[in-house]
Amino acid sequence: MAQVVKKIKLQIPGGKATPAPPVGTALGPAGVNISQFVTQFNDATRDKMGTIIPVELSVFDDRTFTFIMKNPPASRLILKALGIEKGSSKSQKERAVGTLTKAHIDAIVAEKMPDLNANSPEAAARLIAGTAQSMGIAVE
């Protein structure tokens, strides 16, 4: 049985992976067939076009690989829920970038819960609220 030699973590826009950096520079030294990974990843994420998808790639000693896709980062889900491009550049002083409601937080927690390090939905909601506050977004 093949053994895992290397684990690689990447964040790639869904459906838009290319052999160019950062994908090529991360996978090349590990001996992974880059075009095979790009094809498999793009096929698997065609429905999430443009959304940042974290990927955990396990490379085996026979140069084969498997990958696990995670949910998008909490910050991206918050921006998507509010329909804005980015958070505040001065998050400690500027809080008027947007307002995250309880309904927004509940929807994000429902999507992100499997990837969060939280024991309950309430703890997960506090994690999401904290992320929003650090981005300069008010939380109701």
Q: Determine the pLDDT at residue 93.
A: 65
> How much is the pTM?
0.74
Domains of the chain (ranges plus CATH)? Answer: 4-69 (3.30.1550.10), 74-139 (1.10.10.250)
Task: Tell me the mean pLDDT per 10 residues along the chain, length 140.
Answer: 84 85 84 87 85 88 88 85 77 69 87 82 87 82
Q: Determine the pLDDT at residue 130.
A: 86
Q: Do β-strands 4-13 and 52-60 pair in parallel, antiparallel, or remain unpaired?
A: antiparallel
